[in-house]
Structure 1
Amino acid sequence: MKLAVSTLGMPGEGLDRAIEVATAHRCDGLELRLHPDTGVHRGLTPEERRSARERVEAAGLEISALAGYVRVCEPGPDGPLVEALRADLELAADLGAPGVRVFPRGDDPAVGARRLRAVSDAAARLGVRVLVETHDLMPTGAAVAGLLEAADRPGTTGAVWDLLHPWRHGETPADTLAALGPWLEYVQVKDAVSAEDTTPVPMWTGSVPLDEGGELLRAAGYDGWVSLEWERTWYPQVAPVEEILPGAAEWVRRFAPASGTVPGDAVPGDAV
């Protein structure tokens, strides 16, 4: 597993500060929220895109994904949404990110499937995937899998398993993983007070079944990205993300497959 930290946990602090936090805690990457207050958004010029990519790479980090806000199932005309998603995919390619997170924000898989198919050629050309998060009106693994199966674009689409949302809507971690199956490309980890109160809390101090999810992922051999999604942007009263990252790193160490890498592993050039 590779550990990333989302810039959702660092509102208004900018890319350089995010790089500083990630490197200080020996993360492998950054999940970049697409928003002006993070310094990364689709309005960046070519020069700004090159600069952002170079700064991340110079720090020895990867960009695990772009956290976009396109709503693939939202009612309305396809054109503006498809155009926005293509722009996010272009940005991901320019920054070297492997995928763009999107939300459902609708419950009709036929609508989302049509839009995912519309961007499939562009995604394939750019080498970037559209990653649908278990969220809002499709919070379960079963719902997201249904959308992705309807789109039938396995080479250019995938799923983000946010460990909070399927559980709080009554789907067990085992059922989520079974439903997502081959679609699973990315995991977002966090803890919260309860299914009813989603206020973020430090790892293992809330109610999210972190150990159950981790054990299932380890047994399945999952060795992809795990991102700490500390929602300080939405809950400004919670602790800084720096205080939460050690717990996320411990979760990755605990549940990484035996053959996988974990945060803090020696890399070529490290003293051993």
Structure 2
Amino acid sequence: MRLAFSTLGIPGVPVPEVLSLADRSGFHGVELRAHPEEPVHPGLGRDERQQVVRQFAESGIRLLCVAGYPRMADSGDDAPVLDEVRALVELAHDLGAPYVRVFPGGGPDRATGDATAVRRLRQAAAIAAGLGVRVLLETHDSHSTGADAARVLDAVDHPGAGALWDVMHTWRGGEEPEETYRLLGPHLGYVQVKDIASRQDTTPLPPGEGVLPLADVAELLTRAADARTPAPGEGTGVEWLCWEYEKRWYPQVSELPELLPRVREHLLGLLADAA
């Protein structure tokens, strides 16, 4: 299992600084927030994209995901959403990232939200697959549980679409990890984790000091990897755990450079105990 961290909560940090931090902390990859206020976003030109590729290649760190904000279940016209997805997929392709993150973002009408998300994701999956990328629907907002996301992804039924399992949201939605994995296993790209105080208080805590069932998640992923016999050229299923850092929204949490070594030690300990 390889470890990554997300830059979602540290806006505007230059790519070389992110890569240096990953290297010093012993992480294998990063999830980059793709927003116009960030160094990496769909508005980058060819030369800028090539520079990012060189920076990652020289560092040995993997760009795991381009994390965008298209809302697949939201109301409105499909065209602007799919245009946004296409731009993110092309960026991920140019940078060598295997995944693009999208949100559900739907409203209270479950049936309408499901139908909209299925329709858009089918088109997005075809675009992504043509460029060797997968679009991952994060368990979030209107589709925060494994049951919600699987209901959509089962209907989409395309290898270009998958799931990003945010453990906090599925657990707060009442699902235990084993049930979430049963539902999302066929679709999983990677798993995003953090720790929080309670179901009601989502203030991030240092790893191991909160209530999220991270040990159970590590055991499930380890067990699944051990049980699966891959075909030639295939991986062993989910290979990445990504730590989500949210200082942007919770200014009281520790600075990332001082937190990451502890995150790495904790996650590696959980995986070792599960082996």
TM-score (norm 2): 0.89
Give the corresponding residue for 2:231.
none
Aligned to 2:93: 93
Matched with 2:234 is: none
- Which residue is 1:243 aligned to? 258
Question: Does residue 181 of structure 2 align to residue 177 of structure 1?
Answer: yes
Residues 217 and 255, structure 1, Cα contact 8 Å, conserved in 2: no
In the alignment, the residues of structure 2 paired with residue 79 and residue 210 of structure 1 have an alpha-carbon distance, to the nearest angstrom, of 38
Task: Write the distance in 2 (CA, Å) between the matches of 1:36 and 1:81.
Answer: 16
Q: CA deviation at 1:70?
A: 0.7
RMSD between superposed Cα atoms in Å: 1.7
Q: Deviations over 1:170-196 (max 9, x none)?
A: 111111111102111111010011111
Q: Is the 8 A contact 1:10 1:18 kept in 2?
A: no
Aligned runs of 1:93-132 on 2, under 5 Å? 93-106=93-106, 107=110, 108-132=113-137
- The 5 Å alignment of 1:60-71 reads 60-71=60-71
CA drift at 1:233: 1.6
Deviation digits for residues 133-159 of structure 1 (CA, Å, limit 9, x no counterpart): 111111000110111011111x10111
- Give the C-alpha shift of residue 119 in structure 1: 2.3
Tell me the CA shift for residue 122 of structure 1.
1.8
Q: Contact (CA 8 Å) 1:22, 1:30: kept in 2 or not?
A: yes
Deviation of residue 9 (structure 1)?
Answer: 3.4
Residue number in structure 2 paired with 1:189: 193
Match for residue 224 of structure 1 among 239, 254, 259: 239
Q: How many residues align?
A: 258
- Please give the alpha-carbon distance, in whole angstroms, between the structure 2 residues aligned to 1:94 and 1:198: 35
Q: Distance in 2 between matches of 1:163 and 1:7?
A: 18
| Correspondence for 1:30 | 30
**Residues 5 and 29 of structure 2 are in contact (CA less than 8 Å); yes or no, is this contact kept in structure 1?**
yes
The match for 1:134 is 139
| Residue 198 of structure 1 pairs with residue 213 of structure 2 | no
The alignment partner of 2:8 has SS state of helix
Determine helix, strand or coil for the equivalent of 1:9. Answer: coil
Deviation, 1:36, is 3.3
Structure 1: gaps of 5 or more residues:
261-272
Aligned-pair distance for 1:256? 4.0
Unaligned runs of 5+ in 2: 226-236
CA distance in 1, matches of 2:126, 2:145: 27
Does the Cα contact within 8 Å between 1:11 and 1:232 map onto a contact in 2? Answer: no
Change in CA separation of 1:255 and 1:157 when aligned onto 2, cut-off 3 Å: farther
In structure 1, the residue matched to 2:229 is none
The residue aligned with 2:48 is: 48
User: Is it true that 1:145 corresponds to 2:150 in the alignment?
Assistant: yes
CA contact (8 A) 2:26 2:261 kept: no
Note the C-alpha offset of 1:11. 2.3
* Secondary structure of 1:8 counterpart: coil
Secondary structure in structure 1 of the residue aligned to 2:129? helix
Deviation at 1:8, TM superposition (A): 1.6
Residues 72-104 of structure 1, C-alpha deviation per residue, up to 9 Å, x if partnerless?
Answer: 111111011011101100000001000101100
Match of 1:263 in 2: none
Amino acid at match of 2:156: A
8 Å Cα contact 1:7-1:38 kept in structure 2: no
- Residue in 1 that maps onto 2:84: 84
Q: Which amino acid aligns with 2:187?
A: W
Deviates more, 1:92-101 or 1:248-257: 248-257
Distance 1:180 1:148 in 2: 9
- Separation (CA, whole Å) in 1 of partners of 2:217 and 2:245: 18
SS at match of 2:73: coil
1:229-259, Cα deviation, whole Å (9 max, x unpaired): 111121122111123222332344234489x
